[in-house]
Amino acid sequence: MGLRGAARIPASRAPFPFRAMALASDAAPQKNPAIL
């Protein structure tokens, strides 16, 4: 998913855990591919 997927949802409407997960998937996609 990553930020590109999260960009489809306004940040104000996206839950914080969702945004954090998106940031984590972009920061280290190979360390935890399950959140992709």
CA-to-CA separations, 36 to 2, 20, in angstroms, rounded: 7, 12
Q: How far apart are CA 36 and CA 21, in angstroms?
A: 9
Q: How far apart are CA 12 and CA 29, in angstroms?
A: 24
> What's residue 20's pLDDT?
73
Task: For Cα atoms 26, 35, 3, give the angle at the middle one, nearest 5 degrees.
Answer: 35
Q: How far apart are CA 14 and CA 25, in angstroms?
A: 16
> What's residue 29's pLDDT?
55
pLDDT digits (tens, 9 = 90+) for 1-36: 555 665 565 655 656 676 677 766 665 556 655 655
